[in-house]
Structure 1
Amino acid sequence: MGSPRERLAALAPLAARVCPWVADDAPPEQDDDGGPVRAMPLVLRIERATPPRPTALLEAAAAAAVGLCLDERSGPDGPWYDAVASWAGAGRIRKLARRARTAHWRAVGEIDGLTAGVGDPEAGGGEVRALVPGPVDDVAHEVRRLQIGGTDLPDDEPGAPVADRPVIWLNPTVEQSTGKAAAQVGHASMILATVLAWTGADDPTVDAVTTAAVRTATAADWEHWIAALAADGSGRSGWEEHGITAVRDAGFTEVAPGTVTCIAAQRP
């Protein structure tokens, strides 16, 4: 399938935004005005009788979002390429999380996309299906009928992340619903894979992003990382010195524009 950079060619406009110091072949962004608003739907499986642990659900969301982009169907010769490239080039990477259970969950499994799971969904594990992005006003009935709210889950205590896995660190100072956080960690996994691909990482390293852990950062670590990211405007120093890259929210829901909602790190 080619190099990681070739596999993720649809995300070239994203690379131009998150690692401009190496994205010399990225196409210009599309104008956000005048065209349809595009988003990737993330469908969170939240069964009433066996709800998932929030950490497992967020890790599944991160895996599903980046997994769809790494899938060969999103590659240059794949049937999803144009949809993913149009979405990535729109200026803002929008995702919309919805919840589903029972028959509604089974129904979205028939729509183009990729499902990722972490653990056993019958025992607190998480399952999320990322759907091929498209215009927000032109989604399938099976998706449109799903609720956006009602995704909050009680906190869990997942423990320290495994040493050899990438980690997505949530901002400890910002309150986010589980659905909002799912969209943010989905952004983070895509950004991390993109920066790795454009800075020359090999396939195993990029593919490892699909196994990223999700944790909440300590206040001290968060402050240190934010200072590193602020050292220059491009994000280069944060990446080259600390192996981190950030998600800055557009401010459409829950948080103020420009808020760093999470930081993705190559390793703990």
Structure 2
Amino acid sequence: MLPDSGADVVAGDHEWDEVGDLPPDPDVDFYGDPGFSERHSELAAGYGGSGDPDDPAQVQAMQMVLHLPKTDPPARSDLLAAAAGAAVALCLDPRVGSAGEWEQPYLAWKRSRIRKVARRARGAQWAAANEVPGVTVESGGALVRALVPGPVGSVDPRIRRLQIGGTDLESDDPGPVPLDVPVFWVNAALGMTVGKAAAQVGHASMLFAGALPVEQARAWAQRGFACAVREAEPDEWEMLRTAVARSAATAVRDAGFTEVAPGSTTVIATRPARLDHR
């Protein structure tokens, strides 16, 4: 199966300083991180500067592992929020920065296409996936691990054995849209599987963070990249497209290698509706 395609940012003009009264990330002090600005600059520089290699096994992709236990699986919206957070968390992790241990594989991936492959795991499979270098993010009890990118022909055996398709999660009703975090709106009309949608919200979180001024991105990082995911029905989607046209939202267009037609707009990211200040 081909990895999920790269994506293009359409528009984004974000002006917010803080994202609610959320707990800080306990592992990284982004406010005291001197390398954050450089990593954000790299993220903001865009993607796709080099084409695909002649050898398909050398195509670069980020593997994303979705924790889908057999009993009591997570809500779809929570799992997608965790996927969005995990993708951008890896991209702004100190280890992808200058002289970091993940710098070279990260740059090789980012400067080609931001392809992603979503896989599912449970039990011992999930435990094994957490031994592979990457970043795990939790949202509403859902867990997703974004792994350090690399060639699709050299995926760690513990990850390669994980199933890519075959399981989906039904749409849920997560309640009112939160006012104090970014929201990633998934185009419901496309009927994307949870794996495809996970890759797309991962694209969206990267594009959204890259479009932010660095200090606003830093504030979001310090709060663990908290976000929400909602499905947008056709009427809502039209309003969101209008926001993109006004440069008030950020959109993801898919190259169409899997599930959707080339050029489909899959996700639109909106900034927090309420601007909180410390």
TM norm. shorter chain > 0.5: yes
User: Corresponding residue for 1:95?
Assistant: 116
Task: State how far apart, in whole Å, the 2-side matches of 1:207 and 1:252 are.
Answer: 34
Taking structure 1 as the reference length, what is the TM-score of the superposition? 0.82
Task: State how far apart, in whole Å, the 2-side matches of 1:209 and 1:172 are.
Answer: 26
Matched, 1:161 2:193: no
Task: State how far apart, in whole Å, the 2-side matches of 1:264 and 1:209 are.
Answer: 17
User: Corresponding residue for 1:79?
Assistant: 101
User: Corresponding residue for 2:218?
Assistant: 203
Matched, 1:118 2:139: yes
- Cα gap change, 1:126/1:247 in structure 2, threshold over 3 Å: closer, same or farther? same
Matched, 1:62 2:84: yes
Q: Per-residue deviation at 1:220?
A: 2.6
Matched, 1:2 2:7: no
Is the 1:10–1:88 Cα contact (8 Å) retained in structure 2?
Answer: no
Paired residue for 1:49, among 71, 78, 90? 71
User: Corresponding residue for 1:178?
Assistant: 194
Is the 2:35–2:97 Cα contact (8 Å) retained in structure 1?
Answer: no
Worse-superposed segment, 1-10 or 211-220: 1-10
Q: Per-residue deviation at 1:181?
A: 0.5
Residue type of the alignment partner of 1:137: G
For the residue of structure 2 that corresponds to 1:261, the secondary structure is: strand
Worse-superposed segment, 41-50 or 76-85: 76-85
Task: State how far apart, in whole Å, the 1-side matches of 2:262 and 2:217 are.
Answer: 34
Structure 1 unmatched ranges of 5 or more: 18-27, 120-124, 232-236
Alignment of 1:21-40 (within 5 A): 29-34=49-54, 36-40=58-62
Is the 2:135–2:146 Cα contact (8 Å) retained in structure 1?
Answer: yes
Task: State how far apart, in whole Å, the 2-side matches of 1:228 and 1:157 are.
Answer: 24
Worse-superposed segment, 66-75 or 104-113: 66-75
Task: State how far apart, in whole Å, the 1-side matches of 2:134 and 2:213 are.
Answer: 22
Q: Per-residue deviation at 1:46?
A: 0.6
Task: State how far apart, in whole Å, the 2-side matches of 1:225 and 1:209 are.
Answer: 25
**Deviation readout 1:101-127 (Å, 9 max, x if unpaired):** 1111100111000111123xxxxx211
Q: Per-residue deviation at 1:13?
A: 4.2
Is the 1:99–1:150 Cα contact (8 Å) retained in structure 2?
Answer: no
Higher relative contact order (CA 8 A, sep 6+): 2
Residue type of the alignment partner of 1:60: A
Q: Per-residue deviation at 1:201?
A: 3.4
Q: Per-residue deviation at 1:173?
A: 1.6
Residue type of the alignment partner of 1:75: G
For the residue of structure 2 that corresponds to 1:98, the secondary structure is: strand
Is the 1:66–1:209 Cα contact (8 Å) retained in structure 2?
Answer: no
For the residue of structure 2 that corresponds to 1:66, the secondary structure is: helix
Is the 1:184–1:247 Cα contact (8 Å) retained in structure 2?
Answer: yes
| Identity of matched residues, % | 47
For the residue of structure 1 that corresponds to 2:260, the secondary structure is: coil
User: Corresponding residue for 2:235?
Assistant: 220
Aligned length: 239
Taking structure 2 as the reference length, what is the TM-score of the superposition? 0.80
User: Corresponding residue for 2:5?
Assistant: none
Worse-superposed segment, 40-49 or 214-223: 214-223
Matched, 1:261 2:276: no
Is the 1:165–1:208 Cα contact (8 Å) retained in structure 2?
Answer: no
Task: State how far apart, in whole Å, the 2-side matches of 1:189 and 1:3 are.
Answer: 20
Task: State how far apart, in whole Å, the 2-side matches of 1:202 and 1:145 are.
Answer: 35
Q: Per-residue deviation at 1:9?
A: 4.2
Is the 2:89–2:221 Cα contact (8 Å) retained in structure 1?
Answer: no
Residue type of the alignment partner of 1:112: P
Q: Per-residue deviation at 1:213?
A: 0.5
